[in-house]
Amino acid sequence: MAGIVFAFIQVIQMALSLFVYILIASAIFSWLYAFNVINSSNRFVNSVGSFVYNVTEPVLRPIRRILPDLGGIDISPIVLILIIYFLQMIISNPIQPALLSLVS
């Protein structure tokens, strides 16, 4: 049973890490798109852009509502990455040993 709990915790950690990479890719993609570095009429580029936008925007939108307007600077991905790292620390430090001690 402890192995299942440990595997579940590891999957959650991996999903959170993957989402951080998607957030970083979304920020880089938005910069490249804003400065016309990439061809926005390309089908592949358009599908990648819409994927990262559709994945990250529902999570970033509430953070953008809370943050003050900083002009053209969007720090919501940075805030979300800090929140994700905070959640990972909570999961790995106090919760994981407590769950494993209860199951064992």
- Report the distance separating Cα 88 and Cα 104, nearest Å: 22
- Report the distance separating Cα 83 and Cα 87, nearest Å: 6
Q: Write down the domain spans for the chain.
A: 2-95
Q: Tokens at residue 11, please?
A: 């999957």
> Is residue 91 within 8 Å of residue 12, measured between CB atoms?
yes
Global pTM?
A: 0.84
Residue 97 has pLDDT above 80, yes or no: no
Residue linked to tokens 């959640």:
87
**Per-residue pLDDT tens digits for 51-65:** 999 999 999 999 999
> Is residue 26 within 8 Å of residue 56, measured between CB atoms?
yes
Mean pLDDT of the chain: 89
Q: What is the largest CA-CA distance in the chain?
A: 56
Q: Is 6 exposed, middle or buried (0-12, 13-18, 19+ CB in 10 A)?
A: middle
> Is residue 102 within 8 Å of residue 23, measured between CB atoms?
no
